[in-house]
Amino acid sequence: MSQVLTISCKLKVSPSQAAKLDATMDAFVQALNWVNQNTQEKIVNAVKLQSLCYYEIRARFGLSSNLAQQVCRRVAGSRKVAKQKKRPVKEFKSGFVTYDARIFSFRQKDWTVSLTTVEGRERFELAIGNYQRGMLAGSNPKAATLVKRKDGSYYIQICVEEKPPKQQDTDKVIGVDLGRTDIAHTSEGDNWNGQQLNRVRDHYSRLRAALQRKASKGTRSSRRRCRELLQRLSGKERRFQAWVNHRISKAIVSRAKATNSAIALEDLTGIRERINQQPRSKAERRRANSWAFYQLRQFLEYKTLRAGVALILVPPAYTSQTCHKCLHIHPDPAQSYRSGKSFKCGHCGWEGDADWNGANMIAKLGAVVNQPRGPWLACQLQGYRKPALYCEAVRVG
């Protein structure tokens, strides 16, 4: 099993080269939109699109043979993703070109890349630091994407394929409980409080509401300006979420690697849809839906794979209601031993932080998956012993 990492590298571009790159990106996006508008939406096969549009793409937009093929592959790939999400591909935005090994190459001896443009092949020097050099050293990348950022700079996103290290064998498991009060709380006591994050998110929400009100009542120029500010605000909040999730995932994986432990995480797939069926205020719905827990899981997945740490996904059912000491659940389904951030077991008397209790319960479930021949785990539910409902847990990678 291999892992594909994307290395973003800035290009040193002269004015003449910039004109060639801009012309290539313009032709590429025009070809994408032309193919998308002039072929049936149900066609998601790149080979079929190529047989229908290849010669027309080359004649209309002046793209090379391989760039014309990249257009067909990009349209087909976007349609497949849109089909899964049950929505059409409306329009492609300019500012990028995809490359494969035939029209892109990397040379380590002088740290340059060669790219095909509408006016022939061009070589560009990379303006990179030690991190990018270390990642690219000794690699033989086969694909890349050229992008132009809003500030006018050009970047090449190089895809590097590497074989991750073998996962370390261990009987230790760190459980991670995800939530809103604490974004993440581990069974070892580490936690990332969500109060400051909630203040930032509420601030962004108030700004959006004010801008939307102004956009609905202002002049044409003020409406346009408000839309621009809303788009910029969306990007700031998205980058803030990614920054926080990167910090959390890096700290958890580093701790697991240092202690030779696996990581157990709740599988929250579909949790948003289930929670939204419950009656809640508009503010509560927004707060629950606005944080990217799935992004945090994705960051953990690729970081654990690269670090050789096992990641185990367990179902979230009863993890917050079960006492990690005696595995007891409140006999009344309408009640729980948990009250906010506090947990007090009515069976064994244990009392403490509810998120820490949930993280320890997740760690126990992960240990059952990590050691399938280990001790049997059961819970007490409504007066009888029942095998734990956690046998569907899976080990990622």
Given a contact cutoff of 8 angstroms between Cβ atoms, the answer to whether 204 and 395 are in contact is: no
Residues found in the chain: 397
Amino acid at 98: T
What is the rounded CA–CA span in Å between residue 177 and residue 266? 7
One digit per residue, pLDDT tens: the chain, 397 residues?
678 889 999 999 999 999 999 999 999 999 999 999 999 999 999 999 999 999 999 999 999 999 999 999 999 999 999 998 888 888 998 899 999 999 999 999 999 999 999 999 999 999 999 999 999 999 899 999 999 998 899 999 999 988 888 887 888 899 999 887 788 999 998 888 877 777 887 787 888 888 887 777 777 788 788 888 887 777 787 888 888 899 999 999 999 999 999 999 888 776 555 555 555 565 655 555 556 788 888 999 989 998 999 999 888 888 888 888 888 888 887 888 888 888 888 888 888 888 899 899 999 888 887 665 555 555 443 333 333 444 445 556 5
Angle between helices 15-38 and 46-61 (to 10 degrees): 130
Sheet order of strands, 143-148 included: 96-100, 143-148, 154-162, 3-12, 120-127, 112-117, 104-107
Given a contact cutoff of 8 angstroms between Cβ atoms, the answer to whether 68 and 31 are in contact is: yes
Long-range contacts of 125-130 (CB under 8 A, 24+ apart): 125/11, 125/12, 126/9, 126/10, 126/11, 126/12, 126/156, 127/9, 127/10, 127/11, 127/12, 128/9, 128/10
Q: Degrees (nearest 5) of the Cα angle 213, 218, 222?
A: 105
What is the rounded CA–CA span in Å between residue 272 and residue 251? 26
> Containing H/E element for 322?
none
Phi, psi of 85 (to 5 degrees): -90, 0
What is the rounded CA–CA span in Å between residue 154 and residue 95? 9
* 355's tokens: 């998120």
Position 57 scores a pLDDT of 95
Of 191, 168, 189, which Cα lies nearest the Cα of 262?
168
Angle between helices 293-307 and 220-258 (to 10 degrees): 40
Given a contact cutoff of 8 angstroms between Cβ atoms, the answer to whether 179 and 355 are in contact is: yes
Give the rounded distance of the alpha carbon of 153 from its chain centre.
Answer: 25
| Beta-ladder partners of 162 | 3
Position 380 scores a pLDDT of 41
DSSP-derived letter for residue 118 is T
Position 395 scores a pLDDT of 57
Helices (H) and strands (E) in the chain, counts: 10, 18
Position 168 scores a pLDDT of 77
Listed in sequence order, the DSSP H helices in 259-370 are: 271-276, 282-290, 293-307, 354-370
Residue 152 C-beta-side C-alpha neighbours within 13 Å: 6
Instruction: Spell out the domain ranges in the chain.
Output: 3-162, 173-396
DSSP-derived letter for residue 167 is P
